[in-house]
Structure 1
Amino acid sequence: MLFTGLEHTALASPEPKRLAQWYVDTLGFRINHEYDGNFFVKAPDGAMLEIIPSQGNAPETAMRTPGIRHIAVSVSDFDAGQEDLKGKGVKFLGEPLNLKGNRLLFFADADGNILHLISRPQPLP
């Protein structure tokens, strides 16, 4: 197979170091590489985000405007994850949802990017 997966997704931030540290402090990621103001943060499962310096003003976005709309964060215990985020003062963007057994909770990172906590009873095929 020629194309084997997604190596990372990039987020542009006015303060990349601060946002990278938010992912470390809030979600338990680690900064595994940095260069020229760019930071790679890595989740315990190996997923990575690159946080790069932004330029200009961010456009207004909502849950369904075109483009990438959220990053889903898997969790081993949904209720404990929700309580942990609540204790860290994370901004929730609604109430938890239960969709066909999948539990979801939308929240924002330090720059306002949309993430959601997800717990699935079974992985997708």
Structure 2
Amino acid sequence: METLHIPALNTTSPFASMKGNHVALRVPDFEASKRWFIEKLDFRVIHEWPFGDLSLAYVAPANDDNFWVELLGGDTPGQQPDYSDLNESLHRAGYHHFCINVASVDETIAELRRRGVTLVGEPFDLAVIGRRLAFFSDPWGNLIELAQILA
């Protein structure tokens, strides 16, 4: 297994204060999407608010206050492709997925299966980055990656 070489932090950059916060998903059914994140992934609703004719909410994993998903709902958005094959999904331009780190990909996938979540392919090891990965999707085709750091 290869070791990733991560460059030193650049604390002198004028952008040194930048830190990841959230990813936004445009969803066709705001309430159903919010319920899916709560019921299938045990996410928590952090905050909800209106913005024009849209409804928005921040949802966060059960035990993480540093990464949120912003749900954008209302009106009628265009349909997202629904992938059943990960390789097929990699060939389109634009947003692809967001990733959540887990202690065990296999245990997490077993629970997602139990909860009826749609898997996209089977878990696999990617030695070049030292991770075990798996992908699943929400009911509207948004892909989510799980990553486990391999010893």
TM-score (norm 1): 0.85
Which structure has the larger Rg?
2
Query: Partner of 1:8 in structure 2?
Result: 22
Q: CA deviation at 1:97?
A: 0.8
- Looking at structure 1, the residues matched to 120 and 143 of structure 2 have their Cα atoms a distance apart, in angstroms, of 8
Aligned residues: 122
Query: Partner of 1:85 in structure 2?
Result: 112
Name which structure has the greater RCO, CA cutoff 8 Å, separation 6+: 2
TM-score (norm 2): 0.72
Q: Structure 2: which 5+ runs fail to align?
A: 1-13, 83-88
Cα contact 2:105–2:123 (8 A) shared by 1: no
User: Secondary structure, in 3 states, of the residue corresponding to 1:110?
Assistant: coil
- Looking at structure 2, the residues matched to 25 and 41 of structure 1 have their Cα atoms a distance apart, in angstroms, of 12
**Equivalent of 1:98, from 125, 128, 145?**
125
Q: Percent identity?
A: 27
Cα contact 2:30–2:71 (8 A) shared by 1: yes
Q: Structure 1: which 5+ runs fail to align?
A: none
**Equivalent of 2:58, from 40, 51, 56?**
40
**Equivalent of 1:107, from 132, 136, 139?**
136
Q: Over aligned residues, Cα RMSD in angstroms?
A: 1.9
